[in-house]
Chains A and B, each alone.
Chain A
């Protein structure tokens, strides 16, 4: 089984079948990272450019390691080191990179649609590593893999996403992904941080966290940026903590074996109580581990690899 598209731009246009191919492949890839020699030759001779126009630690490291473990040659470019500072357009930047013969561009950009814009104009495969408040497809896929690992199946599970949904590409990609896999998705946030008509995505929307949390299998906590009190979105972080921070006390209303997830980086004590972040329900570090496997799987599949053909050690 293979993936037929050139690029991975978002979850919205992936089918459940394609998602399953990626997850199955990622499960095999996960095993490679456990080996004594964590390297396979599938992308040998391929060149990947990680083009990051926004700060990133986790995602950039995860892609870099995935590329190295597949034996690809990769370079990292960030906006501070690129010619964007000299006024070069995004299109010129990627056209110049392509002139050096490359196979993949992994792009993170503050503007929604930037990966789509370059994908249309490049022969190289483009992987969206986060575009503005639009999508972050590899994050949603690693989240699915982590949930599958912990719960067995995602079908019918009740998932609550809490926090700054409005500014979250992670939330959008996860809503698409979870819905496609048959989960029931709810959202909870102050109405000032809830995007317009989000309920049209087929999700239930809550204001009250204690009501929202009831009977949930999974609570996915989003990061709250500290500057959100500007522009009237929040009166204060203090009040946000009081109303929405996921604490051990609040968690009691959820299912007993509830799973806690977070895309990182965590603001400890703001959206997530440290006792919950580090507690038995949390799979936050498994998410990070699975990130490498999912990104290996995507690179492998987009370069023409087939699921079920990754060699056992």
Chain B
């Protein structure tokens, strides 16, 4: 498929579109960038892509990706990261700004956008830093960054320690009407922490980060949100206590949303008995009770989105004694598999709900409008097989890094094809730009 046809038919797939309330086996006619129409088509109408037994749905967006460019191109680049995204079934990723240098000005936003236009396989939504150099002291130029194409703001990787700065950031963000994505971690309560503070931390002799290190900051930021307004999105929510706070804030009608990572719903701190540094990340793996609560939170809609927090690290940095290894794991190429295995196969979420968490809600939170397969819309489409069993092999990853704890795992749910604005960028092992 070196040159793609301008017109093709995705045939016999199970089309699920939460926005339209659609779930039926139907064909999709794509013409140019657009979804031309839904119905029954044959090869006279365009090239046939057989989607029998597969789910065809609005394109997935990973709200939380670290692409590492600029600064650590040995770990990941915009090119390799977007290949990993395409292979994982994502038509777009939100790129976090904790690069080197930090993406905290319009020039850096342009660099990300232009590099993505040139080298990217899927769309890249640039997230700008809330504060200059992510130092938590002075606000960055949100308006200028927004004019350059910035999609939201975050100091992810770090909490905004100073409550006054957090307040001002939320206030100022009202000028641009963009979301502020927060990494909730009380730096004093979590100082020196290597894993969740629980009995396993005591057993393994690793310094703990308590659950309240997250929930206390979240409680503060929710209070600020209620006081001054703005839009707040909670990155990688991981503990029971946080769910209660978000639930209460939503009940009050505050503009708050939250995401959970695939690893926080599939792994617990007990896995760390091996001291495998591919299980080291922030927030840390929590307890069984937290995992159970997070799944329930997804079901009840307290958690809006599933996002990977794809954080590539070089092998030599991860091949260290646990305490010396950096925090973070990659997740783009295992997200659908882990989510289908943990949530769909177990009947916690329907496929419709899963697609909301991966597609509809991330688009809404990032202010990108309605994500749907409606006639005339740009064709952002993810095609996956929710029932296919496969074995993870990091050697097959498109990512430059291999810091995944899922290597060798058997997962159910496999991404098959990724379509960005009508163009097939990934199809069963092959990439197209």
Question: Chain A's nearest CB lies how many Å from the CB of B188?
Answer: 10
Q: A112-B323, A113-B275, A113-B321 are in contact. Are A135 and B205 (CB under 8 A)?
A: yes
Chain A residues contacting B204 (CB-CB under 8 Å) are 112-113, 134
* Interface membership of chain A positions 61-88, coded 1 if the CB is closer than 8 angstroms to chain B and 0 otherwise: 0000000000000000000000000000
Is A133 close to B, CB under 8 A?
yes
Report if A12-B198 is in contact (Cβ < 8 Å); known contacts: A89-B319, A91-B320. Answer: no
Seed contacts A90-B321, A111-B321, A117-B275; 6 additional CB < 8 Å A-B pairs: A110-B323, A111-B324, A112-B204, A113-B204, A172-B205, A200-B202
Task: Kindly state the separation between the CA atoms of A90 and B324 in the bound complex, as whole angstroms.
Answer: 10
Across the interface, do A89 and B316 meet the contact criterion of CB distance under 8 Å? yes
Closest to A110 in B: B323
Q: How far is the CA of A131 from the CA of B323 in the complex (A)?
A: 11
CB nearest to A132 among chain B residues: B205
Residues in A neighbouring B324, C-beta threshold 8 A: 90, 111
Return chain A residues, CB-CB under 8 Å to B203: 12, 172, 201
- B41 close to A (CB within 8 Å): no
Q: Which residues of B contact A91 (CB under 8 A)?
A: 319-320
Q: Specify the chain B residue showing the minimal Cβ separation from A176.
A: B203
The 9 closest A-B pairs by CB, nearest first: A134-B205, A113-B275, A111-B323, A112-B205, A197-B199, A133-B205, A114-B321, A195-B202, A200-B199
A113-B206 in contact (CB<8A): yes
Q: Which single residue of chain A is at the shortest CB-CB distance from B196? A: A196
A157 in the interface (beta carbon within 8 A): no
The verdict on A109 contacting chain B, using a C-beta distance below 8 Å, is yes
Choice from A109, A133, A172 contacting B321 with Cβ under 8 Å? A109
Cα A195 to Cα B201 with chains together (Å): 9
What chain B residues lie within 8 Å of A12 (beta carbons)? 203
Closest CB of chain A to B346's CB: distance in Å? 28
Question: Per-residue CB proximity of B173-208 to A under 8 Å, as 1/0?
Answer: 000000000000000000000100111011111111
Q: Which of A5-32 contact B (CB under 8 A)?
A: 12
Bound CA–CA A6/B208 (angstroms): 30
Determine the chain A residues whose CB is within 8 A of the CB of B208 once the complex forms.
196
How many angstroms from the CA of A112 to the CA of B199 in the assembled complex?
Answer: 15
Closest residue of chain B to A12, judged by CB? Answer: B203
Say yes or no: is B322 at the interface (Cβ < 8 Å to chain A).
yes
Measured CB to CB, the closest approach of chain A to B222, in angstroms, equals: 26
Q: B198 is contacted by which of A131, A135, A196 (Cβ under 8 Å)?
A: A196
Cβ of B274 within 8 Å of any chain A Cβ, yes or no, is: yes
- Tell me the bound Cα distance from A34 to B241 in angstroms: 60
CA distance A131 to B275 in the complex (A): 12
Interface size on B, residues (CB 8 A): 22
Selected A-B contacts with CB under 8 Å, 12 pairs? A109-B321, A112-B204, A113-B204, A113-B206, A169-B205, A195-B202, A196-B199, A197-B198, A197-B199, A197-B202, A200-B199, A201-B202
CB distance from A114 to the nearest CB of B (A): 4
Q: Give per-residue flags for B272-285: 1 if the beta carbon is below 8 A from chain A beta carbons, else 0.
A: 00110000000000
Task: Give chain B residues whose Cβ lies under 8 Å from the Cβ of A117.
Answer: 275, 320-322
B275 vs chain A, min Cβ distance (A): 3
Min CB–CB distance B148 → chain A (angstroms): 39
Query: Most chain-A CB neighbours within 10 Å: which of B201, B205, B210, B275?
Result: B205
**Contact status B198-A132, CB under 8 Å:** no
Whether a CB of chain B sits under 8 angstroms from the CB of A55 is: no
Distance between Cα atoms of A114 and B322 in the complex (Å): 7
Does A116 contact B205, Cβ atoms closer than 8 Å?
no
**1/0 per position for B318-350, CB-CB distance to A under 8 A?**
011111100000000000000000000000000
Number of residues in A with C-beta < 8 Å to the partner? 25
Known: A91-B319, A111-B324. A198 touches B205 (CB 8 A): no
Partner of A90, one of B201, B207, B320: B320
Residues of B within 8 A of A135 (CB): 205
Could you say which residues of chain B place their CB within 8 Å of the CB of A172? 202-203, 205
Task: Kindly provide the distance from the CB of B353 to the nearest chain A CB, expressed in whole angstroms.
Answer: 35
Nearest A residue to B192 via CB reads: A231
- List residues of A (131-154) whose CB comes within 8 Å of B's CBs: 131-135
Indicate which residue in B197, B205, B321, B323 contacts A196 across the interface (CB closer than 8 Å). Answer: B197
Cα–Cα distance between A172 and B205 once the two chains are bound (Å) = 8
Q: A112–B324 Cα gap in the complex (Å)?
A: 10
Answer whether A116 and B198 are a contact pair too, CB < 8 Å, given A111-B323, A132-B323.
no
Chain A nearest CB, measured from B360 CB (Å): 39
Cβ < 8 Å to B, chain A residues 89-104: 89-91
Q: Given A197-B198, A197-B199: A112 and B319 within 8 A (CB)? A: no
Shortest distance from the beta carbon of B186 to any chain A beta carbon, whole Å: 14
In the complex, what distance in Å separates the CA atom of A117 from the CA atom of B280?
14
Q: How far is the CB of A165 from chain B (nearest CB, A)?
A: 9
User: Which residues does chain A contribute within 8 Å of B194, judged by CB atoms?
Assistant: 112
By a CB distance below 8 angstroms, the chain A residues around B207 are 133
Q: Is the CB of A112 within 8 A of B320?
A: no
Q: What is the CB-to-nearest-CB distance from A225 to chain B, in angstroms, rounded to a whole number?
A: 15
In the assembled complex, the CB of B311 is this many whole angstroms from the nearest CB of chain A, namely 20
Question: B198 contacts which chain A residues (CB < 8 A)?
Answer: 196-197
Determine whether the beta carbon of A111 is less than 8 Å from that of B199: no
The residue on B at minimum CB distance from A112 is B205
Nearest CB to that of A231 among chain B residues?
B191
Chain A residues with Cβ below 8 Å from B206 are: 112-113, 132-134
- Give the distance in Å from the alpha carbon of A70 to the alpha carbon of B279 in the complex: 40
Q: How far is the CA of A58 from the CA of B28 in the complex (A)?
A: 75
Complex CA distance for A198 and B201, rounded to whole angstroms: 10
B206: nearest chain-A partner, CB-CB: A112
Could you tell me if A131 and B205 are in contact, using CB atoms closer than 8 angstroms? Answer: yes
How far is B207's CA from A200's CA once the two chains are assembled, in angstroms? Answer: 17
Which of B201, B206, B275, B316 gathers most chain A CB within 10 Å? B275
- Nearest residue in B to A120 (C-beta to C-beta)? B274
Q: A116-B274, A116-B275, A117-B275 are in contact. Are A111 and B202 (CB under 8 A)?
A: no
Residues from chain B with a CB closer than 8 A to the CB of A169 are 205
User: Nearest Cβ distance between residue B392 and chain A, in whole angstroms?
Assistant: 20
